Structure 1
């Protein structure tokens, strides 16, 4: 996508209910504008080429893809808001991310390294995992489709490339960008999530070196290198190098999944330097929140800032009331006051379906992501929690039920000096993951948010 600015002659002043302010860029799919909705909230409005939705069949297919894309969790992605494919011209609206693309940033400021590179790798892998969890494949993941927002990298244009397949014969355009297309995509073979894994490896290599690993002096030369040549990865540091190399395997079956990529990334995460006196919720030096968490295994990290609930039905299957005759004791915290439970209820207990070790990475509004491990024993109301890279450990105690099917947990840190002693979470559960969202207290209500999705460890 080429950068631009201002409204140009011929650009509309508005489309649908959205007022257009200036161009953000232009590409093969259409032109993107900064716009505002009726409430003056900034949005990104992409006006599509008319032939993209040239008949009802194409419009309906595009609408189905956009509908699926709207279900993708918004951490690390620019959330789809709405679309009008029957408008003339058709358009889609997404969350506005105020920041340059990775392509423009690397071209302007040079490659990334160290923890900045690692955070980019984690954030983009997280976004692709969320996209795949929704049943989508991006198909056009590239540096131009990664925006560097203030709260971390955001992936855009997911869900669009597949819809564009319906118009490929009309536009005579290849769906994808040659230097970041998987070999099977070039060959016209069926495309799955492994194609995005290949593209992720190429994008991370670009971020680390400033060049595509399959760079060539023409599109045919690039395509030939993707299919036949080994990637040029000089300058990609370990431990990323071995992971990127595996992601760029010519054989889709030999590539890791995005969840496996995240497991590797978080298992080798570089710690972010922090003073020993920093707390996990509120820094003692400047009273700003710096929530942190510990090492992860099989999960996907939530990089980015907003507190997002991965809403899922069936939370009741995970938790059960205390058996008859069980005691009433246990720790209570601020979250307990928010519970909708009646006075003096029997404490909740974790069911057997909940037993095991769950791992994930806490995403904070300060842009930092920290691994976190939660170990649950069936029949207990208290789980063990640890943040290994900070040397902190303690307990998470069920304190009651919240609204919307959530459960409330009170955290007590019993070991380690770099973590705040007390905190509270709201938890939502599905059959395959848990989402914990930090409940701000006091001074951190406006300034801090954090969330983590935990997956059961395979080992």
Structure 2
């Protein structure tokens, strides 16, 4: 595929935002509505793989029905023929900002910023869980922070509540954020996402993970056996937040809070409007003026299997 190529008679490709094993993400112009969009196209080497085609279609359907302010919006889905190959594509909202992973390269965040981001991710997860969807890959690289708020992206390996990883014993997800029950082969459930959100919050607040683990094997063992270190003392951080993060990291799924509770506690700490607003399907857009994205010459979008 090339710059300037027209998809479905309306989406004109402009530049590659990222590429990975599963897909290539382009910034494109929607010539019909006169707006920028992000078009994720299945990688050419997967054109004949029905499972990968199913995954990208399932992602599009799952996100399209969420319609939540903190979830990247899906506008369209289709298939195209490129050099004789049938490629699935999904057209998404163009998110102009930075990933939380990029922001954390400079170290931990001010606690008010961290809780503001976490509250909005919690709200996005609450909406997904209410619809029976588990994200399965909550991590800083899949959280986009913009001047207008936070967007949770990459539902490419999402699954319905109760699903398993399938045959072969291969775990689906990022090892650093796998919940203990997932490591043990248990079904996915909302608490799986809450565990990952707890780890992400710990990292954002402390600037490090709650245990020393540098290899995949060490990470997996830590999830199951290691007791998380308590958060270090952070001046001004409400004790309710520290307790909440510890509960998110509980080994037993039943001992973790719901995503709604996480969004409410973090939202109150961050000074967001009434927590009841976070329950709505159209959560309020929260301006992050204090963490306005640094312009890097182009927007950054992380999609399933794509590293920008």
Alignment of 1:306-345 (within 5 A): 310=281
Contact 1:66-1:160 within 8 A present in 2 as well: no
Distance in 1 separating the partners of 2:158 and 2:77: 15
Q: Give the alignment's Cα RMSD to 1 decimal.
A: 3.3
Distance in 2 separating the partners of 1:13 and 1:174: 38
Equivalent residue number for residue 239 of structure 1: 240
Deviations along 1:281-316, one digit per CA (max 9) or x if unpaired, are xxxxxxxxxxxx44x4xx4627xxxxxx848xxxxx
Quote how far apart the aligned CAs of 1:239 are.
Answer: 2.9
Contact 1:80-1:94 within 8 A present in 2 as well: yes
Distance in 1 separating the partners of 2:165 and 2:182: 17
TM-score by length of 1: 0.53
1:269 maps onto 2:269 in alignment: yes
Deviations along 1:90-140, one digit per CA (max 9) or x if unpaired, are 222211110110001110x32112321221121111111111122211001
Quote how far apart the aligned CAs of 1:364 are.
Answer: 5.0
Distance in 2 separating the partners of 1:144 and 1:73: 21
Moved more, 175-184 or 255-264: 255-264
1:363 maps onto 2:288 in alignment: no
SS in 1 for 2:90: strand
Quote how far apart the aligned CAs of 1:187 are.
Answer: 2.2
Equivalent residue number for residue 42 of structure 1: 36
TM-score by length of 2: 0.77
Distance in 2 separating the partners of 1:270 and 1:57: 41
1:16 to 7, 19, 33: 7
2:25 to 19, 32, 51: 32
Contact 2:66-2:281 within 8 A present in 1 as well: no
1:70 maps onto 2:68 in alignment: no
SS in 1 for 2:284: strand
SS in 2 for 1:35: strand
Alignment of 1:102-117 (within 5 A): 102-107=100-105, 109-117=106-114
Contact 1:65-1:159 within 8 A present in 2 as well: yes
Distance in 2 separating the partners of 1:57 and 1:219: 26
Structure 2 gaps, min length 5: 290-308
2:78 to 84, 94, 97: 84
Equivalent residue number for residue 121 of structure 2: 124
SS in 2 for 1:363: coil
Alignment length, in residue pairs? Answer: 276
Quote how far apart the aligned CAs of 1:56 are.
Answer: 5.0
Distance in 2 separating the partners of 1:28 and 1:104: 21
Distance in 1 separating the partners of 2:185 and 2:43: 24
Structure with greater contact order relative to length (CA < 8 Å, sep ≥ 6): 2
* Greater Rg by CA: 1
Contact 2:127-2:281 within 8 A present in 1 as well: no
Distance in 2 separating the partners of 1:103 and 1:16: 31
Quote how far apart the aligned CAs of 1:55 are.
Answer: 5.0
CA separation of 1:28 and 1:244: change in aligned 2, threshold 3 A: farther
Contact 2:140-2:200 within 8 A present in 1 as well: yes
Contact 1:52-1:167 within 8 A present in 2 as well: no
SS in 1 for 2:60: helix
Structure 1 gaps, min length 5: 1-9, 273-292, 303-308, 312-361, 369-459
CA separation of 1:50 and 1:256: change in aligned 2, threshold 3 A: farther
Equivalent residue number for residue 209 of structure 2: 212
Quote how far apart the aligned CAs of 1:246 are.
Answer: 0.5
Distance in 1 separating the partners of 2:258 and 2:132: 14
Distance in 2 separating the partners of 1:225 and 1:15: 48
Contact 2:110-2:205 within 8 A present in 1 as well: yes
Equivalent residue number for residue 158 of structure 1: 155
